[in-house]
Amino acid sequence: MENKPLEGFTFLFGLAEALGALGLILTAIWLGSYRGGFTWTSNPKLEFNWHPLLMMMGMIFLYANGILVYRSFRNSRKRKLKIAHAFINAMAFIFTIIGLQAVFDSHNLASPSPIPNMYSLHSWLGLASVILFALQWVFGLLSFLYPTLSAPLRATYYPIHVFFGINAFVCASASALLGLTEKAIFNVSDYSQFSSEGLLVNCIGVTIVIFTSLVVHLVTEVKFKRHPLPEDEMLLTSNE
Amino acid sequence: MENKPLEGFTFLFGLAEALGALGLILTAIWLGSYRGGFTWTSNPKLEFNWHPLLMMMGMIFLYANGILVYRSFRNSRKRKLKIAHAFINAMAFIFTIIGLQAVFDSHNLASPSPIPNMYSLHSWLGLASVILFALQWVFGLLSFLYPTLSAPLRATYYPIHVFFGINAFVCASASALLGLTEKAIFNVSDYSQFSSEGLLVNCIGVTIVIFTSLVVHLVTEVKFKRHPLPEDEMLLTSNE
């Protein structure tokens, strides 16, 4: 009886993790083999290559795993899960900040002249996702982990935290697709001839789409929801 | 008491409809004022302009309203709502097919040589969304409106229909953002100089993102869910 509601969870969760890892590996292969690999500020063009890889790691893979922690470790105590959720998302934020530094450097240090920043839809949606993600981290901390807000305010914020958490994650995925499209059009000269690099970029995009769909399914499906443990009830700060 | 659970619905629903209309108007202004307006096959370049407008109408605005019909007309009988849902989505599909014809024509009839089809991430994700949408329409019809499937199969398909319905809608929105990015990079020569056309294209994208978020919220928020009417219970084909 206990396991019945989780039918399918392990398979879908494993598939999601595998696709997340595949997305990272394909991105690393793409940037390493087709785009000249990775350096830091000595070569702005190659410094750029850190951007897609680190953003994929931060805003897609780790962000997803931060969300999924309440599903994948459902039998752990709520407080432990909250700490894991905050920790994984803090890691995600660190990767994200370095990934942003890489793209701004690669624009500002470009020769002969700098490349403008923040003009594209990719940059608008991407930065909005990062800001929303960061705000959620701070408000989440103040509401649920080291609660300074009153209980009614916390209860009001909880569904908002969940909704915007998933929303910013999907926006981050859409931003990644926009970034892949920009890079393919700017740099893959034979994109329209179905070149191997163009197909690889598209396959990274498809991987992100399926990964994102699976993660949203795993976290929103009612039968996969975590049931509060008896211990949780004893904690005033518990929210489910 | 009756109205309590719907607190906020009318405002958010109205805001979503206003944003959907704004997205269509901005797209029409963009294509009409900056991209030379609309003709059919006589000029493939201008025939293209039907593509963004018709896809916005079909796969974004009407698709969303087809989904929302169970929320916006919550007090109507289920069967009526199903017919409205199928009808609005059929309209969405007609706009979509003409919108696809426009882009394939504009590629195939381009001079001096045709533009390749289906190489970009936009085309992959966009066509996948349309195919998923069309399959959902057919399976929805056979499952819920003129049910040929057994009751257990219908019950199994119901959550799949809901999940992939929302999923394909979000993918269609992401495809629209990819399409806007492609067009801006290909044709807006001063996109990186924050030109008015570039900003307009980005604003259309932002409108789509907020519209999509609102629609997904309206349709997934538990307190906004439609409660079955007594009459619904009498129909074997009712699903909620």
Distance CA B104, CA A3 (A): 50
Query: Closest to A119 (Cβ–Cβ): which among B122, B125, B194?
Result: B194
Distance CA A214, CA B165 (A): 14
pLDDT of residue B234: 56
Q: Which amino acid is at B214?
A: L
- Which of A108, A119, A164, A194 should be substituted to probe chain B, the one whose Cβ sees the most B Cβ atoms within 10 Å? A119
What ipTM, to 2 d.p.? 0.95
Nearest chain A residue to B194 by CA: give it: A119
CA atoms within 13 A on the CB side of B23: 31
Residue A147: band (very low, low, confident or very high) from pLDDT cuts 50, 70, 90: confident
pLDDT of residue A231: 74
pLDDT of residue A4: 54
Going residue by residue through chain B (240 aa), what tens digit of pLDDT does each one get?
344 558 899 999 999 999 999 999 999 999 999 999 999 978 999 999 999 999 999 999 999 999 999 999 989 999 999 999 999 999 999 999 999 999 999 999 999 999 999 999 999 999 999 999 999 999 999 999 998 889 999 999 999 999 999 999 999 999 999 999 999 999 999 999 999 999 999 999 999 999 999 999 999 999 999 988 887 755 544 444
Say whether B180 and A119 touch across the interface (CB within 8 A): no
Distance CA A165, CA A93 (A): 14
Q: Measured at the alpha carbon of residue B130, what is the angle toward residues B128 and B136, in degrees to the nearest 5?
A: 100
pLDDT of residue A2: 46
**Coil vs helix vs strand at B127:** helix
**How many CB pairs lie under 8 A apart between chains A and B?**
91
Say whether B124 and A191 touch across the interface (CB within 8 A): no
pLDDT of residue A230: 82
Residue A238: band (very low, low, confident or very high) from pLDDT cuts 50, 70, 90: very low
Say whether B191 and A120 touch across the interface (CB within 8 A): yes
Domains of chain B (ranges plus CATH)? 9-229 (1.20.120.1770)
Distance CA B13, CA B122 (A): 29
Least Cα separation, residue B205 to chain A (angstroms) = 7
Secondary structure of chain A in the HEC alphabet? CCCHHHCCHHHHHHHHHHHHHHHHHHHHHHHHHHCCCCCCCCCHHHHCCHHHHHHHHHHHHHHHHHHHHHHHCCCCCHHHHHHHHHHHHHHHHHHHHHHHHHHHHHHHCCCCCCCCCCCCHHHHHHHHHHHHHHHHHHHHHHHHHCCCCCHHHHHHHHHHHHHHHHHHHHHHHHHHHHHHHHHHHHHCCCHHHCCHHHHHHHHHHHHHHHHHHHHHHHHHCHHHCCCCCHHHHCCCCCCC
* Model confidence at A151: pLDDT above 60: yes
Residues of A with CB below 8 A from B201's CB?
A: 121
Q: Dihedrals φ, ψ of A35, to 5°?
A: -110, 10
Q: Are A133 and A82 in contact (CB under 8 A)?
A: no
Distance CA B81, CA B69 (A): 7
Residues of B with CB below 8 A from A193's CB?
A: 116, 119
Query: Closest to A181 (Cβ–Cβ): which among B182, B192, B206?
Result: B182
pLDDT of residue B233: 58
pTM of this structure? 0.95
Nearest chain A residue to B172 by CA: give it: A174
Q: What is the pLDDT of residues A169-225, one digit of tens each?
A: 999 999 999 999 999 999 999 999 999 999 999 999 999 999 999 999 999 999 999
* Model confidence at A239: pLDDT above 90: no
pLDDT of residue A232: 76
* Model confidence at A240: pLDDT above 50: no
Say whether A178 and B177 touch across the interface (CB within 8 A): yes
Q: Are B72 and B227 in contact (CB under 8 A)?
A: no
Residues of B with CB below 8 A from A191's CB?
A: 119-120
Query: Closest to B191 (Cβ–Cβ): which among A119, A209, A217?
Result: A119
- Which of B27, B119, B192 should be substituted to probe chain A, the one whose Cβ sees the most A Cβ atoms within 10 Å? B119
Q: Are A226 and A176 in contact (CB under 8 A)?
A: no
Least Cα separation, residue B192 to chain A (angstroms) = 6
